[in-house]
Amino acid sequence: MSNTPTHYLALKADDRQELRLPAVLKEHLQQVARTNGESVNEYVLRVVAADVSAEISKAYEWELGAPEFLEVMRLLMVPPADTRASRAARTRARKHFGDIAGL
């Protein structure tokens, strides 16, 4: 998964999102988009993609205490044997998290 907004901007925009906002914000949004030479849709997509790109990684960050950190380090230094169960766990992880961290 990429953490840059260009990843999102390269995707086909095939879904709709409706939102309500104060009239003055809508007016300012139109002014800013026009000043940047963008349509409102292009501007909103770019800004939202940048913000989501910056925030999405927080969903994948784990805060570990000392015991958990030591266990992760131990597993990285001496990985367990590759078993049918570990391969099945990797498959489930890919389905749940996507293909991140080379699972």
Q: Residue 103: count other Cβ atoms within 10 Å of its Cβ.
A: 14
* pLDDT band of 38, cuts 50, 70, 90: very high
What was the pLDDT predicted at 80?
A: 84
Find out whether 48 and 9 touch, Cβ atoms under 8 Å. Answer: no
> Higher confidence at residue 33 or residue 4?
33
The dihedral built from the CA positions of residue 92, 63, 56 and 21, taken in this order, carries a sign that is: positive
**pLDDT tens-digit profile of 71-89?**
999 988 998 889 999 999 9
**pLDDT tens-digit profile of 45-71?**
999 999 988 888 777 777 889 999 999
